[in-house]
A = this chain, B = another copy of it.
């Protein structure tokens, strides 16, 4: 991606429980000084991305707002060379100044 931007503030949603990603995002905001965190997920994990964003905002970071939600389609190439298309989501969370 763009070289001028560090990618530390991107949280990729995987198979772990949602709370692990909530805490990862919270760490970016509170310990690493991030102003924005981008939560990314593909396929069925897109549902978990929404939960992570909502739990973060509602329980841990009331001063955070959803700045942007993008949806899209990504192509994945499997080990057999077969290309499959999956839905994707990118949720940008902005921490407002207190």
Contacts and interface: CB of A to CB of B under 8 A. Distances in A.
Interface of A: 43-47, 50-51, 53-54, 58, 66, 69-73, 87-89, 91
B73 A91 contact: no
Given A43-B47, A46-B47, 16 more contacts: A44-B44, A44-B47, A46-B46, A47-B47, A47-B87, A50-B87, A50-B88, A50-B89, A53-B71, A54-B72, A54-B73, A54-B87, A69-B69, A69-B70, A69-B71, A71-B91
Q: Give this chain's copy count.
A: 2
B46 A50 contact: yes
Contact of A54 (B47, B50, B53, B71): B71
Contact of A87 (B45, B51, B70): B51
